[in-house]
Chain A
Amino acid sequence: MKYAKKSPWILHYDGSSCNGCDIEVLACLNPLFDIERFGAINTGNPKHADILLITGAINEQNISVVKQLYEQMPNPKAVVAVGVCAATGGIFKDCYNMIGGVGEAIPVDVYVPGCASRPEAIIDGVVKALDKIK
């Protein structure tokens, strides 16, 4: 068995997701998946966070919020984009208010596929992001 060096604290922000990926992120906390047993905590404060987990795409209104959250996080930090919305804009790509994936606003380290992404995949994505914040 491999050990992770660090228990990441995670900041979750809902870009313009449909809630599908959002509730799967929260499902990672329930007793079936329970990532908190590894010391990973879902924090509300960007200044405490190691990993920024974003669901949903970037639109005209939230781009400044996403940039701000990213800037407030201390280094080293990683960004995980969850779901195809966060990757490219997904099914909403052609909507008039959409700018595109999270990559349009801030640098992304890990993309988690799926619409909606399953909790296993999200956890896997977070584990991959750990390499970045070693």
Chain B
Amino acid sequence: MGRRTILPFGPQHPVLPEPIHLDLILEDEVVVEAVPSIGYIHRGLEKLVEKKDFQEYVHVAERICGICSFMHGMGYCMAVERTMGVKVPERAEFLRTVWAELSRVHSHLMWLGLLADALGFESLFMHCWRLREYVLDIFDMTTGGRVIFSVCKLGGVRKDISRETMMKILDTFDKIEGGIKEITRVFTADASVSHRLTGLGALTGEDARSLGAVGPMARASGVGEDARAAGYAAYPYVKFGVQTDTAGDCMARVKVRTGEIFEAIGIIRQCAELMPDGPTDTKVTGFPSGEAFARLEQPRGEVLYYVKGGGTKFLERFRVRTPTFANLAALLEMLKGVELADVPALVLTIDPCISCTER
């Protein structure tokens, strides 16, 4: 048995854009245990509902995390709309779905780039982020923002996407789909990438279930759960497949996520075809009272929102269970027994979003 060393990893670390701190307990080069310490990014957002008007709070909810910003706003709105019995117009549901799926494409492309960067594959990082810019241009064109849009509001959405703009979006995807296929091929077929990822951090389906993993993490281990299949927004009207894999290793997670990019593009195409005409919002009057849950599928997995209102303009309680929080338990388990040099790649494959985990 080798000597034990404790190596601090983070909160400021070259591969991590976000601050999380892990104490890695090493035996020679192998991790035997990982002890996380958190709080570097904790703001106390949930408590803020007691001070901010529930309509204004949508803007705060969007800033729980800037990567799936739209979906956080949407989830909060869905939960509050449920307590107030607001029925969102159909066109708004479709528009929300389009923006949500665009967010998924941008988030997954961003993640692929960060992973490539963690592996030291700089040019692949550049390609992923080049393709991602096209999606950000779509956001810029339809909402006016690149990462934070503020288009979701209680009762619907603030902006409409015209027929011509929708056509432009589809054209963009026709143009970049080939590029995304090409980077997918590099990730799955390139010898050096596959050498780094195949077999690393394997998680069995059973473990994934018992540790409560969600999203692409769980699906890569063969657990075919996807909150979109439960049907919210416009998902009941469109067809899509739930991407799964059985290997459970880092490579399987790459495959699941790349598969989801193409599914998301497919959903956007269907939405463009099926979207009905009509209003994009309804008037919301009164105050929320009672409690409600909303559940939706973010790029990182399933997220839960809980709101409780007492009939005033301030909510009594707001709670988010974010996907990264659910996946951290699985990560700490997977870290045991891997080589130190593989830690960055492994941490990245859960697609950590610390900002939403700590809020």
Interface pair B12/A44, CB less than 8 Å apart: yes
Interface pair A19/B353, CB less than 8 Å apart: yes
Q: How far is the CB of A4 from chain B (nearest CB, A)?
A: 23
Interface pair A98/B11, CB less than 8 Å apart: no
* Given known A-B contacts A18-B64, A20-B66, A22-B66, A61 and B42 have beta carbons under 8 A apart: yes
Chain A 1-59 interface residues, beta-carbon cutoff 8 Å to B: 12-24, 26-27, 29-32, 43-46, 56-57, 59
A-chain residues with CB within 8 Å of residue B69 when the two chains form the complex: 18, 20
A94-B53 Cα distance, complex, nearest whole Å: 13
Interface pair A24/B147, CB less than 8 Å apart: yes
A-chain residues with CB within 8 Å of residue B42 when the two chains form the complex: 16, 59, 61, 97
* In the complex, residue of chain A having the shortest beta-carbon distance to the beta carbon of B11: A65
CB < 8 Å: which of B12, B43, B129 contacts A97?
A: B43
* In the complex, residue of chain A having the shortest beta-carbon distance to the beta carbon of B113: A30
Most buried by A among B41, B60, B132, B136: B41
A92-B133 Cα distance, complex, nearest whole Å: 28
Interface pair A19/B130, CB less than 8 Å apart: no
Interface pair A20/B147, CB less than 8 Å apart: yes
B170 at the interface (CB under 8 A from A): no
Interface of B is mostly: loop
Chain B 93-109 interface residues, beta-carbon cutoff 8 Å to A: none
A94-B11 Cα distance, complex, nearest whole Å: 24
CB < 8 Å: which of B12, B43, B66, B145 contacts A19?
A: B66
A102 at the interface (CB under 8 A from B): no
A95-B66 Cα distance, complex, nearest whole Å: 18
B-chain residues with CB within 8 Å of residue A18 when the two chains form the complex: 63-66, 69, 148, 355
Chain A 56-73 interface residues, beta-carbon cutoff 8 Å to B: 56-57, 59-62, 65, 69
Most buried by B among A45, A61, A69: A61
How does the 8 Å CB contact mask read for B15-42 relative to A, with 1 for contact and 0 for none? Answer: 1011100000000000000000001111
Interface pair A95/B40, CB less than 8 Å apart: no
Interface pair B47/A91, CB less than 8 Å apart: no
- Tell me the count of chain A residues lying within 8 A, CB to CB, of chain B: 41
* Given known A-B contacts A18-B65, A18-B66, A116 and B17 have beta carbons under 8 A apart: no
Interface pair B147/A26, CB less than 8 Å apart: no
Interface pair A116/B147, CB less than 8 Å apart: yes
CB < 8 Å: which of A22, A31, A65 contacts B130?
A: A31
B-chain residues with CB within 8 Å of residue A15 when the two chains form the complex: 41
- Tell me the count of chain B residues lying within 8 A, CB to CB, of chain A: 41
* In the complex, residue of chain A having the shortest beta-carbon distance to the beta carbon of B134: A32
Chain B 337-359 interface residues, beta-carbon cutoff 8 Å to A: 353, 355
Interface pair A98/B126, CB less than 8 Å apart: no
Interface pair A69/B67, CB less than 8 Å apart: no
A115 at the interface (CB under 8 A from B): yes
B-chain residues with CB within 8 Å of residue A31 when the two chains form the complex: 126, 129-130, 133
Interface pair A98/B130, CB less than 8 Å apart: no
* Given known A-B contacts A44-B13, A95-B43, A17 and B355 have beta carbons under 8 A apart: yes
B2 at the interface (CB under 8 A from A): no
B45 at the interface (CB under 8 A from A): yes
Chain A 96-134 interface residues, beta-carbon cutoff 8 Å to B: 96-98, 115-116, 118
Interface pair B43/A92, CB less than 8 Å apart: yes
* In the complex, residue of chain A having the shortest beta-carbon distance to the beta carbon of B18: A14
CB < 8 Å: which of B15, B40, B64 contacts A62?
A: B40
Q: How far is the CB of A71 from chain B (nearest CB, A)?
A: 13
Q: How far is the CB of B124 from chain A (nearest CB, A)?
A: 12
A60-B358 Cα distance, complex, nearest whole Å: 13
Interface pair A65/B18, CB less than 8 Å apart: no
A11-B48 Cα distance, complex, nearest whole Å: 31
Q: List 13 A-B contacts (CB under 8 A).
A: A13-B19, A14-B19, A15-B41, A16-B42, A19-B353, A20-B69, A23-B17, A59-B39, A61-B39, A92-B43, A92-B48, A92-B63, A97-B43
Extra pairs beyond A18-B148, A59-B39, A98-B44 (8, CB < 8 Å): A22-B18, A30-B113, A31-B130, A43-B14, A44-B12, A44-B14, A94-B51, A116-B146
Residues of B whose CB lies within 8 Å of any CB of A are 11-15, 17-19, 39-45, 47-48, 51-52, 59-60, 63-67, 69, 110, 113, 126, 129-130, 132-133, 136, 145-148, 353, 355
